[in-house]
Structures are given as structure tokens and as C-alpha cells.
Amino acid sequence: MHFPDYTVQQPDLDATRTAYESLHQRLNSATSGADCLPVIADWDRLLCEFKEWSNLTYIRFHQDTQNEDYIAARKTVDEITPKFTDLETSFKQALLDSPFRDEIAAATAPQLFAKWECNTRSFAPVIEDDLAAEAKLESEYTALIASAQIDFDGETMTLSELRQFADDADRDKRESACRANSQWYTDNAPTLDRIYDEQVRLRHGMAQKLGYDKFTELGYQRMTRIGYGPEEVATFREEIRKEVVPLAAELAEMQRQTIGTDSLKFWDNAVYSLKGNPRPLGDHDWMIDRATEMFNAMGHGLDTFFDEVKSRGVMDLKSRKGKAGGGFCEFLHLYKFPFIYANFNGTRGDVDVFTHEVGHAFQSYSSRNQPHSDIVWPTTEACEIHSMGLEFLTWPHMDKFYGEEAADELRRIHLMSSLQFLPYGVSIDHFQHMVYEKPEATPEERNAMWQEIEAMYLPWYQYDDLPAESSGRLWQQKQHIYNCPFYYIDYCLALTGALQFWSKSRTDPSEAMESYAALCKLGGSKPYSGLLESAGLQSPFRNGCLTEIIKDARDFLS
């Protein structure tokens, strides 16, 4: 079915309750693990009906945040999701307590039980109302950001549209776009402060109701972090501080020399070329044609997959007013196909976000037949390996989008900006650890925490008098801080994996592609460490995990 016509019914809560009663009865009367398997399959169908409705509602709302029907549907999802979570969690608990647990795990995947353990530890009916309130605040942030209407250069623009000037060749234009962006965040600072303050207190309260000391512990369970905790993540951040921050600062100095300015201001950070960064040579439709050629050349299933993406119409990539910002990919379990979302604005970011989201989409499609919907996706730190990995594996085809000469430049820029991203990414993570450690902090104290972190990881940032950034408010522009606590480190963890694919592809491109496609097929059937191992990737929690990559990167960039 053509995706734009695809609709699903809202699941009926009472009918779902009755269905769960029957599932519990069948599970209780099972006399073997084999008896449990059809019960789990029927349960999965019920889960998928809910996920399908929730995911599709999320997609439609993002496509048009001003549509009254979508706003209402999104509100309904936010309100009733905790009721469904309650039913799901008690069934997961019943499976965890089952005398046939080991047999079921052997017939499906032990990783399912590890995930369900995290799920049961992060939910109890006592927090149902708090979860609904939390979702409401998240929607409020998304809607506020999407509502921005900024007068710039004789036009009214969204924040996403304004971002196209971040790497404009005209320095004055970059600076004024950056100031317009900063002014919008300053004007909206009271609301942004209020939303986050309420979120932090609400999350801390939920943690306490569930018996945790701080939200961080609950946050890790909610992220289904299996096999590692805040200590390992702190070690990784420290590795970045020691190994990558000095290199990132050197790269910033290289940038300054290339663009020939006295100093590298914040509005120069995204610019790596005197002519402005290379931009794709055509519009949306032209890019889709180039992408088709690229995936045909890459094979390994990407070719047929992308044909189906186009024939089903499962992409929404153009920017428009009222459409929520950002890029994402959702998998629709009943439709058996992923959906890809982005906001093209004519910059190199379009190619990045496109290859990134296709990476997610290809992985979820490759693993769609895993024995349970909960392991179609890996946990998110592993998910981002597939997306960021594909950004690097598509390197040999960048000439299609940029022309040959600009493609060489583009590859350098991609690598430089990825290395500079690592310190930024860990600062977003470190900030959240500090915030949830001291939930009673005032908004001003949070801004001071951010400034302390910036000094540690981002010493080359120069804001001058930009109102939002110079007062410690850069973090408010990162939607993950509001909407997905503790998610952001995943990009850094995964990038160390993706960079290993990059390194591998330099010496043996076909082996790199093969091992990438095999990793995609595994989906979420193993924990993060198990997936890394199967793909022959080093763990980021090992000391020296970045040494080889940095050597290779220096070699490439020299």
C-alpha cells in the first residue's frame, strides 16, 4: 500500500485489557516453553497494533504540527500510552517470572528478557500520570520549536530553514542568521527554561517513586542500557576529552586558516571551505535519482530496498512551514516497512541526514523478521552504528551528489566535522548527568553547569555577544535534552563504531559492506557488546578505543 494512504485504527483500551486477561490465563496454564511461544506470538501482534498506531500518529503529527486532527491524535497517544505500558509491563513481568523463561529465551533471544527487565524496572502504575505529563511537555517543546517564524533576508523562515545559512560562503550572512537564531532562543528562553525545569523535576519525582535515588539510574533503564552504566560512559567521555579534544581544536585552527579569518567565531564553526561547504548540485527529486544510482552501485540489498522505498512513498524529506524539524526513521511493524523523515534545506546536511536515516531504515527492514518486534531495532547506541556507518560507506559515491572535486572536499569535511562532533556530543551527555545529579538547581545554575562543561570539551567555541550562547544556553537548542534524556551519548558511542567501518572500508571496501549488511540483519537480537563483537568492532569502553581511528584520521587529513 502507498504510505500516504495508510491509516490505522486507534486500539480500544477495554478490548486490549480483555485480550491481556486471556494472554495471562494462557501463559499460566502453559506446561512447557513450547506452549508459551504461540501466546507470545499473539501478544506480539497486540503490541504491534499499538506500536503501529502510536508510530503513525507520531509521523503524521511531525508532518503537519498545525493539523488539528493530528494534534488531537498526538494528544490521545500521549494520554493513553501509559495505560498500554501498564498492560505490557505486567505481561513482561509474567514472562520474566515464568518457570519456562530459559526455554523461551533459547527459542527466541535472551536479549528480549534483558530488555524486558529494563522495561519492568522503569515503569509502575504509580507513575502513569507523570508519564502522560512528561509526554505533554515533550510535545510542547516540539511544537514551540516548529512554530518559530523568523524574518530573515526578506522571508519568513523556520529554524530548520534558517540553518541552511550556517555554512554559507558569505560570512556576514552566516553571522546574521546565527544572530537571528540566537535571538529567537533568547526571546523564548523563559518558556524553554520552564519546560525543562518541569521535566527535570517530574523525571526526578518518577525516579523516586520507583525507588531510585536519582533520575540518572532510571534514565539508563529507560534507555535499556545493558551491560554498562554511568561509570563506563564517564570513562568514554574522559577518553574523548584526552584524545579527541586536542585534535578537534587543531582542526578548528585548520578551518580558520582555510577560511582566512582572524579568529574562528561560532558562526564559522560549520564552514570548512573559503567558497562555503560543497552543496548537493540539485534539488530533492534530482537527489533521489542520484541516490538510486548510488544504491544500485552499492548492492547488498540496498538497491532493491530503495526501489521499494520509492514505490511505497515512505519518505518525507522536504522542509515546509508547520512541519516539525529534524530527521528520523520509524519502523511500522504491521506495514512491515520503515518510514524516513527529514527536512532538506539545500546544504550538505541533506545528504548526511538522508544517508543516515536510510541506514536506520535499511537496518530495520533487514531485521524485520526477527522473532519478536522488540528486537527488530537494537538498543539505540547500536542503532546509530547503522545510520552513521552508512554515512561513511557511501563515501565512494559522493561525486554523484557533489561532482568529483567537491566530493573530495566533502569527505574531508565529513571526517573533520565527525571528529569535532565527538566532544560536543559528550558535553550534551555530561550536562544531563550534572542536571539530574542536582534536580533542584535553578535554570541559571543549569546554564552555569553548561558553561563549565563547554570549557572542558569545546575550548575553541567563540560566541562573542550572541545572546543565547554567551549566556550558557546553547544546550536549549538540542531537542534530545528535552525529549530523549540520555540518548545523545549514543551518537558518540556509535560514531566510534561507524569510524571503524570507515577505517575498514579504506582497506577492504567489500568486506566492510558485507559486515555492515550482516550487522543490519542481526537487528536487536544481541546486546550492544554482542553486536560489536559479531561485527568485529572494538568496544568504546576500552581504554585506547580511539587510538587507531585517530591515527587513520590524521593520516587521511594530512
To Zn ion, the closest distance from the beta carbon of 384 in angstroms equals 5
Cβ-based nearer residue to Zn ion, 91 or 488: 488
Q: Say if CB 370 and CB 524 are below 8 A apart.
A: yes
Q: How many residues does the chain have?
A: 558
Q: Say if CB 395 and CB 548 are below 8 A apart.
A: no
To Zn ion, the closest distance from the beta carbon of 222 in angstroms equals 18
For residue 198, the number of C-alpha atoms closer than 13 Å in the C-beta half-sphere is: 16
Place of cell 535534552: 481
Q: What are the backbone angles phi and psi of residue 339, rounded to the nearest 5°?
A: -120, 140
Cβ-based nearer residue to Zn ion, 120 or 355: 355
To Zn ion, the closest distance from the beta carbon of 383 in angstroms equals 6
To Zn ion, the closest distance from the beta carbon of 387 in angstroms equals 4
How far, in Å, CA of 259 to CA of 278, rounded?
14
Cβ-based nearer residue to Zn ion, 54 or 387: 387
Cβ-based nearer residue to Zn ion, 352 or 469: 352
Cβ-based nearer residue to Zn ion, 50 or 354: 354
Q: Say if CB 553 and CB 416 are below 8 A apart.
A: no
- Cα–Cα separations (whole angstroms), residue 166 to 46, 144, 170, 176, 250: 45, 21, 10, 10, 21
Interface residue list for Zn ion (CB under 5 A): 384, 387
Amino acid at the residue 296: N
558, with CB counted inside 10 A (0-12, 13-18, 19+), is exposed
Three cell numbers at 338?
520503515
Cβ-based nearer residue to Zn ion, 107 or 484: 484
To Zn ion, the closest distance from the beta carbon of 385 in angstroms equals 10
Q: Say if CB 393 and CB 498 are below 8 A apart.
A: no
To Zn ion, the closest distance from the beta carbon of 360 in angstroms equals 6
How far, in Å, CA of 528 to CA of 226, rounded?
7
To Zn ion, the closest distance from the beta carbon of 218 in angstroms equals 23
Around Cβ 280, how many Cβ atoms within 10 Å?
Answer: 24
- Rg of the chain (C-alpha set): 23
Cβ-based nearer residue to Zn ion, 350 or 384: 384
Cβ-based nearer residue to Zn ion, 82 or 359: 359
Amino acid at the residue 28: N
To Zn ion, the closest distance from the beta carbon of 379 in angstroms equals 13
Closest CA to 91 of 104, 79, 78: 104
Cβ-based nearer residue to Zn ion, 185 or 488: 488
Maximum C-alpha span of the chain:
76
Cβ-based nearer residue to Zn ion, 380 or 515: 380
- Cα–Cα separations (whole angstroms), residue 68 to 53, 62, 63: 17, 12, 12
To Zn ion, the closest distance from the beta carbon of 356 in angstroms equals 6
To Zn ion, the closest distance from the beta carbon of 535 in angstroms equals 17
Give the residue at shortest CB distance from Zn ion: 387
For residue 555, the number of C-alpha atoms closer than 13 Å in the C-beta half-sphere is: 8
How far, in Å, CA of 146 to CA of 266, rounded?
23
Cβ-based nearer residue to Zn ion, 429 or 454: 429
Three cell numbers at 130?
507523570
To Zn ion, the closest distance from the beta carbon of 496 in angstroms equals 15
How far, in Å, CA of 427 to CA of 478, rounded?
11
How far, in Å, CA of 356 to CA of 327, rounded?
9
Cβ-based nearer residue to Zn ion, 230 or 326: 326
To Zn ion, the closest distance from the beta carbon of 468 in angstroms equals 25
Q: Is 188 left (phi over 0), alpha (psi -120 to 50) or beta?
A: alpha
Amino acid at the residue 540: P
